[in-house]
Structure 1
Amino acid sequence: MAFKTNEDLIKIIQSNYYKFSKGQKAIAQFIIEQYDKAAFMTAAKIGKTVDVSESTVVRFATALGFDGFPDLQQALQVMIKNKLTTVQRISLNETPKDSEEFINKILKNEIHSLKNYLEDLDQERLNNAASLILGAKKIYIMGMRSSYALALYLGFYLDVIVENVKIVNQNTNSVFEQLVRINENDLFIIISYPRYSRQSMDAVNFAMDRKAKVIAITDTEASPFYQLADIALLGKSNMVSFVDSLVTPMAVINSLIMSVGMQEKDEIVKYFDLLEDVWDKYSIYNKENDFKK
């Protein structure tokens, strides 16, 4: 279940309040008043907090139309992702007993996220995105803040396959000066995760006004970029305290690069044959014998 705005889930809870049992009303009131905390609590912990059973919390989720409590929890997290400050992210995460426990929790979340991406992978959509890339006269790639690292990575490998790849530099004064020549023959790739950058949204609207095609790499269907893009590739970014995890977004980008590469395999082989000659001639890389004493 997806919600169009941050307030939709709360409104649904409020509109159904009169139908709830006494225990469910207690849960509803807690979520309405402290949804930022409820989003990161287990069903058992919410039940303990409002003095109801865990099964009552699960039934509350299904009464709202969710398949189970995890789906309700996910909807709450999506709702607040772009509202949380860094300080709030740190405070909302339960303090681990030790660093090993915390790292184990992080890695398990990453593995789970990657499994979900694999299960939900839409190969046809990925191939269509690759076709847009190969058909574009010029490709502009943009990502702000931590997503800038993803933009650099994608740009590096697309530049191996196609020509005229431009990474929009977030460190210059004006993004629009870098996009001023974009037109209907070009492609704009936006990489954006919560908290969504206003500048990224402005850049997408700028590209759309000039009839450029848009590919969005973002987290969920609730993302503001999902509806705007011609093609949206989804890969969730887990919130790990103050850090935005980029493991699944990187998997999305690698999948896209591979899809483009498979369609241009012969050209890539020729390109790397030429590069190997250049690398060898100018000793770009150390050879095995260089490391021997």
Structure 2
Amino acid sequence: MDTDKHKTRRPSARSPRNQDDAQAPEAMAAAPRSVDGLRELMVSIGRGETNLSLGGKAHSVLAKLLEQPEEVAVRTITDLATALGVNASTLTRLTTKLGYTGFADFQGVFRDSLAERHRHFYTHQAERLVAGKEPRAQSAEANHTSPEVEVVAQLAHESIANVDTFLARLSPADLREAAALLAAAPRVRVHGLRQFSALASFLCYGLGMIRADVALLDAQGLGVAEGLAQLQPGDVVVVTSVAPYTRSVAEAAVAAANAGMTVIAITDTLASPLVPPARHTFLIPHESSFFSNSMGAYLIFCEGLLNLVATHLGKQSLQALARRERLITALGIETD
């Protein structure tokens, strides 16, 4: 009798919607609660190893979502649908078919994974470094080099890949307008902490070579509030931080924007808390086997931005550099 009852519920081949609904309870019981689990499920679906099936379009959409987990974690369903060239309802149907109660439940998996990654970023990076020891030794043998050289070579190739990625998505308009702002603003302050204090110092030093009134936001250690209090609407604040983000840098960006200053952010993804308060945002990846955030692509971007500012300033930048050279000579700072 149970068998007959089950048969009466079997959807007909002419009713694909009912077929999807019939699969939903089964899928829901196994809905992955991690991004890695979702990737494994997608592979299983593609191999026909699960009772859950997706059409070609839905499978492609899921693959694209898994390629950009940070964006999925923070963007709205409408934004994601537009970026993927589908309707928001397509994403809703996909997530429910995978077993989630809706898109918000599905997105929560990405948010939780992102938060977990940030909490253990440095140990995860170090684990990858240690795990790669044997493959590097094999690569060194194949390339007739040493494991030590392979470590450096691997980082170099990863930095090149990061540079290629940010070049592919650079906005000419954002570059042009950011360079103009950095050239014309009455005052420029740069803010970055922890590892990215080095990048902030580098950018500040470079800008200071070609224009006046550039400094770190908290150069004297008096506090960010005091640094912002010295600025006026129309001044520019450049902030930089990447995952795992420094909370105080994000808070300084929001405070600067609320006070009428123009914020330029140099960060990693659209999930960054530096994005909302910024007028111009530059996204630079830092994927690498380095045990912390890779800085190579960031330095190259900043060098390019500095060159654009110098070009925009024209003769003014030449005069500033010439004056600097005269002072260096007068003070005997450099050796022959």
| Same-fold status (TM-score > 0.5) | yes
CA 1:113 to 1:85, structure 2 compared with 1: closer, same or farther past 3 Å? Answer: closer
CA–CA distance in 1 between the matches of 2:56 and 2:131?
A: 26
Aligned match of 2:17: none
1:197 aligns with 2:197: no
Aligned match of 1:154: 203
CA–CA distance in 1 between the matches of 2:156 and 2:162?
A: 10
Aligned length: 258
Task: Please give the residue correspondences for 1:55-66 in structure 2 after superposition, counting only pairs within 5 Å.
Answer: 63=58, 66=61
Aligned match of 2:93: none
TM-score by length of 2: 0.64
CA–CA distance in 1 between the matches of 2:247 and 2:219?
A: 13
Select the structure that is richer in helix: 2
CA–CA distance in 2 between the matches of 1:142 and 1:279?
A: 27
What's the CA shift for 1:235? 1.1
CA 1:52 to 1:82, structure 2 compared with 1: closer, same or farther past 3 Å? Answer: same
Preserved CA contact (<8 Å) 1:129 1:215: yes
CA 1:23 to 1:167, structure 2 compared with 1: closer, same or farther past 3 Å? Answer: same
Preserved CA contact (<8 Å) 2:160 2:297: no
Preserved CA contact (<8 Å) 1:190 1:215: yes
TM-score by length of 1: 0.73
The structure number with the bigger radius of gyration is: 2
Q: What SS is found at the alignment partner of 1:91?
A: helix
Aligned match of 1:87: 123
Q: What SS is found at the alignment partner of 2:238?
A: strand
Preserved CA contact (<8 Å) 2:186 2:213: yes
Letter in 1 for 2:197: Y
CA–CA distance in 2 between the matches of 1:94 and 1:113?
A: 22
Residues 140-179 of structure 1 show CA distances to partners (whole Å, capped at 9, x for unaligned) of: 1100111111100000011122211120238836322222
CA 1:23 to 1:67, structure 2 compared with 1: closer, same or farther past 3 Å? Answer: closer
| Structure 1 segments unaligned to the other structure (5+ residues) | 1-15, 288-293
What's the CA shift for 1:270? 2.0
What's the CA shift for 1:209? 2.2
What's the CA shift for 1:135? 2.6
CA 1:270 to 1:68, structure 2 compared with 1: closer, same or farther past 3 Å? Answer: same
Q: What SS is found at the alignment partner of 2:303?
A: helix
What's the CA shift for 1:248? 1.5
CA RMSD of aligned residues (A): 3.7
More deviation in 76-85 or 218-227?
76-85
Aligned match of 1:245: 294
Residues 64-96 of structure 1 show CA distances to partners (whole Å, capped at 9, x for unaligned) of: 654846x62442698525343422333356701
CA 1:143 to 1:65, structure 2 compared with 1: closer, same or farther past 3 Å? Answer: farther
| Structure 2 segments unaligned to the other structure (5+ residues) | 1-19, 74-110, 138-146
Preserved CA contact (<8 Å) 2:70 2:269: no
CA–CA distance in 2 between the matches of 1:256 and 1:51?
A: 41
Residues 204-225 of structure 1 show CA distances to partners (whole Å, capped at 9, x for unaligned) of: 1221221111111111122122
Residues 183-217 of structure 1 show CA distances to partners (whole Å, capped at 9, x for unaligned) of: 21311111111111110121112212211111111
Aligned match of 2:216: 167
Letter in 2 for 1:205: V
What's the CA shift for 1:55? 5.8
Residues 17-76 of structure 1 show CA distances to partners (whole Å, capped at 9, x for unaligned) of: 9868x99997x52xx2x44x669xxx7xx58xx99487679x89973654846x624426
Task: Please give the residue correspondences for 1:28-43 in structure 2 after superposition, counting only pairs within 5 Å.
Answer: 29=32, 32=33, 34-35=34-35
Preserved CA contact (<8 Å) 1:142 1:168: yes
